[in-house]
Amino acid sequence: MKLPLPRFIQTNPSLALFALLATALSGFGQTFFISIFGSSLRDTFELSNATYGTYYSLATLCSAIVLVRLGTIVDRWSLANTITLALGLLGASALMLGTAAHWLLLIPGFFLGRLGGQGMMTHIGFTAASRYFDRDRGKIMALTVSGLPLSEALLPAAGGLILAAWGWRSPWLLAAAFLFLLALPLMRWLALDARHPSEFRSHAHDDDDGASASGFTRRQALRDPGLYMALPGVLAVPFTVTAILFHQTAIAEIRGWSLEHIALAFSGYALGHFLMLFVAGPLVDRIGARRSLAMGLYPMVAGLVVMAMTHAVWTPFLYLALTGMSQGFAGTAGNALWPERYGVAHIGSIRSLAQAAMVLSTSASPALAGLALDAGMTPAGLGLTLAGATVAASMLLLLVPDTPRSSAS
């Protein structure tokens, strides 16, 4: 007997799968995958923690700047064309990193990967989920976010095994072949029947400030004070996770944990991330994205305290599992917040700002954490500092007004 699909997937199963795979494929440009090559790249090109982190941060910063403009194409181009561009950038990154003969090539390689993967692929996936599914938004966001723990569970382990067998270049070259030859044709096929973004604005009437009757424009969203109050809470998890995961090999060396031990601990991170999606989606639909996000930051706070206060062999399993739980909340509630607050007519333009802010925050965290570690800060000090900042961001979220305000009104 055939099991019926959930109602929110029945709306458009091809696009539901598209959104899920878009976030999963972004893993090739995410820190949790790139970080497993940290020791190899530092040794090959003779780089310190701070120098390596600075190059990565510079590349990520540049990708955030470009994303502010490039991200708006999801409101103008067809879904098939936008995914072609994103996968092209991601595949070019893998090819460049796999063939890099000098450390200078790491910067454009990281840039293309961060722009195509963390930037455009996640932006396209969440924008598609926002635009093409207007009911059960929390659940479709949870499904879309589930691509990340799927990627987290598979890519670091696979990349680590290939790295150990054939060296650090082989995983990147295989990733490029996979992205160009398999992922690109599949994603274009899934996007074939997607309505063009212009259809969502075709019946809207603009006011004197360019605001659409079907939702806030980017200009209006920028005038809403609640946007700036909510951003620290939205950015808390990606900032912290990037800082911790990017320097996981350095933290492991300080604590005496092997790289294999840390790689195994990622299973706890992925499991916590995945399981929390079943809680986060229904909770967003019940109490709203803002309140759900504020609650969802506290497992990571607990994980950071565990990382700071314990040195046992089980420590990375527990703190990564708790961090993964908050990642599930942040991905679901954080991405549901924007369409819930500002509508979907201009969601691509608004999300590109939020996505760029996220990428910008993750460009700063590796460099800041690397400088702190090189200056003598212990993993305990780093963990407690990040925990305190996360608590403050959660409290600020609770002060955000329910109704957005714009000086245009």
β-bridge mates for residue 215, sequence order: 212, 343
Has this prediction a pTM greater than 0.75? Answer: yes
What pLDDT is stored for residue 204 in this prediction? Answer: 47
Token pair listed for 230: 């909510």
Which CB contacts under 8 angstroms, 24+ apart, belong to 319-322? 319/383, 320/265, 320/266, 320/268, 320/269, 320/272, 321/268, 321/269, 321/271, 321/272, 322/272
Report which residue type is found at 53: G
What pLDDT is stored for residue 409 in this prediction? Answer: 42
Rounded to whole angstroms, the Cα distance separating 91 from 110 reads 12
* pLDDT per residue of the chain (409 residues) written in tens, 0 to 9: 445 667 767 778 899 999 999 999 999 999 889 988 988 898 899 888 778 878 888 898 898 889 888 988 998 899 999 999 999 999 999 999 999 999 889 999 999 999 999 889 999 999 999 888 877 778 888 889 889 878 877 898 899 889 989 999 999 999 999 999 999 999 999 999 888 887 776 544 444 334 444 578 888 888 899 999 999 999 999 899 888 877 777 777 778 777 677 777 777 887 888 888 888 888 988 888 899 999 999 999 999 999 888 888 888 889 889 998 998 888 889 888 988 888 877 888 888 888 788 878 877 887 788 888 888 888 888 889 999 999 999 999 999 988 887 644 4
Token pair listed for 120: 């455009």
Interaxial angle between packed helices 137-145 and 259-287, expressed in degrees from 0 to 180 and rounded to the nearest 10: 170
| In the block, residue with structure tokens 């701070």 | 50
* Distance spanning both ends of the chain, measured CA to CA: 54
What pLDDT is stored for residue 8 in this prediction? Answer: 65
Rounded to whole angstroms, the Cα distance separating 245 from 168 reads 18
Phi, then psi, of 343 in degrees rounded to 5:
80, 180
b vs e for 267-292, b when ≥16 Cβ sit within 10 Å of the residue's Cβ? bbbbbbbbebbebbbbbbbeebbbbb
Rounded to whole angstroms, the Cα distance separating 366 from 239 reads 9
Helix/strand number for the chain, H first, E second: 21, 0
Rounded to whole angstroms, the Cα distance separating 193 from 190 reads 7
DSSP state string for 61-86: HHHHHHHHHHGGGGGTS-HHHHHHHH
Rounded to whole angstroms, the Cα distance separating 323 from 340 reads 25
Check if the beta carbon of residue 163 is closer than 8 Å to that of residue 33: no
Cα separation values, 405 from 6, 87, 225, 230, Å:
35, 37, 7, 13
What pLDDT is stored for residue 213 in this prediction? Answer: 44
Domains in the chain, please, with CATH? 14-195+214-398 (1.20.1250.20)
Coil, helix or strand at residue 107: helix
What lies within 8 Å, CB to CB, of 150 at 6+ separation is 20, 24, 270, 274
Rounded to whole angstroms, the Cα distance separating 82 from 74 reads 6
Rounded to whole angstroms, the Cα distance separating 314 from 388 reads 23
Rounded to whole angstroms, the Cα distance separating 58 from 95 reads 20
Rounded to whole angstroms, the Cα distance separating 265 from 282 reads 28
What pLDDT is stored for residue 352 in this prediction? Answer: 83
What pLDDT is stored for residue 201 in this prediction? Answer: 64
